[in-house]
Amino acid sequence: MIKKLCYGVLALLLLAVVGGAGAWFVNGQRWQEEYAAYRKTGAPVLMYHAVGEEEGVEWPASLLMKPALFESHLRYLKEQGYTIVTVETLAHRLEKGESVDKYVALSFDDGYKNNHGVVLPLLKKYDAKGSFFVINKEMGDKLHMNEAEIKEMIAAGMELGSHTYSHGPLGKIDTKYLVWELDTSRYWLKKKFDGYIVRTLAYPNGSYNPTVVAAAKKYGFYRALTGHVGLNTAATYAAAPMEMYRVTVADDGNGLEGFKKRLEQAYFFGFLQTKGLDVNIIRDIFIH
């Protein structure tokens, strides 16, 4: 039964993508011109996790990326003329109506130790910034950054964000625990990091709902990152700052070409959304 359901949802996803491509073909030149203009109006947020040459740890393929591959991403973005910023910086530009053409924000979930040892030096090398979302209860263990390392990240101009206190899927936990996962997380980070005010949240596993959004706003977050693919424009940010788009970046075995395709997904899926075609709706059915 489950296998049939999965096949059915995958078929719907394929149908949606094919439908979008078909609509693109039918509308031809007009859509191409609109798409070229649309790309200049928004910016992607890229989602990474760990970057390193870790041994002795069973890393899921979607979480660990080799440093050389990650550096190729930074090099490509710079060669293409991108300005690489934090999520907070991107949000401020969207709020002010400033240009975000050829802007991209980097986000790193979970606060892995190699974010400090590997990612930080590479970001400095390419004059880039990023946002790092830590899990309070895991800070300072074998795999995750400690206080001193996070302070160095902040001093280097990186953004510190919350990935909640214990990384529970917020859309599925008892709502009475939201105060702990959200408010306590922000308070604890402020105490640990010399009054640093955390304003950006990344939903663990992309799990959230209207109740979670309301709680996040109540407890002081200005914006939040989902697992939905799309482009962040002034319009999307004004309408739903607690539901910012981002695209997962992982090593799919295709090297830099795989990265280029994932980057393009953000633009293309965002454009399709303006035409009433949202692949994320079907994707949510599959995930939830």
Give me the pLDDT at residue 2, please: 41
pLDDT band at 9; cut points 50, 70, 90 = very low
What is the per-residue pLDDT across 205-233, written as a single tens digit (0 to 9) for each?
Answer: 999 999 999 999 999 999 999 999 999 99
Give me the pLDDT at residue 62, please: 81
Residues near 177 by beta carbon (within 8 Å), at least 6 away in sequence:
168
Neighbours of 191 (CB within 10 A): 10
What is the per-residue pLDDT across 13-71, written as a single tens digit (0 to 9) for each?
Answer: 555 555 555 665 656 688 899 999 999 999 999 999 999 997 667 778 789 999 999 99
Give me the pLDDT at residue 7, please: 45
pTM of the model: 0.89
Residues 193-213, mean pLDDT to the nearest whole number: 97
What is the per-residue pLDDT across 227-282, written as a single tens digit (0 to 9) for each?
Answer: 999 999 999 999 999 999 999 999 999 999 999 999 999 999 999 999 999 988 87
Instruction: Give the CA dihedral 175, 135, 203, 129, nearest 10 degrees.
Output: 150
pLDDT band at 284; cut points 50, 70, 90 = low
Domains annotated on the chain, with CATH: 42-276 (3.20.20.370)
What is the per-residue pLDDT across 104-134, written as a single tens digit (0 to 9) for each?
Answer: 999 999 999 999 999 999 999 999 999 999 9
Place of tokens 């955390």: 198
Give me the pLDDT at residue 28, please: 66
Residues near 98 by beta carbon (within 8 Å), at least 6 away in sequence:
none
Give me the pLDDT at residue 18, please: 54
Report the interhelical angle of 2-38 vs 255-274 (nearest 10°).
Answer: 80
What is the per-residue pLDDT across 163-187, written as a single tens digit (0 to 9) for each?
Answer: 999 999 999 999 999 999 999 999 9
pLDDT band at 285; cut points 50, 70, 90 = low
Quote the DSSP letter at residue 99. -
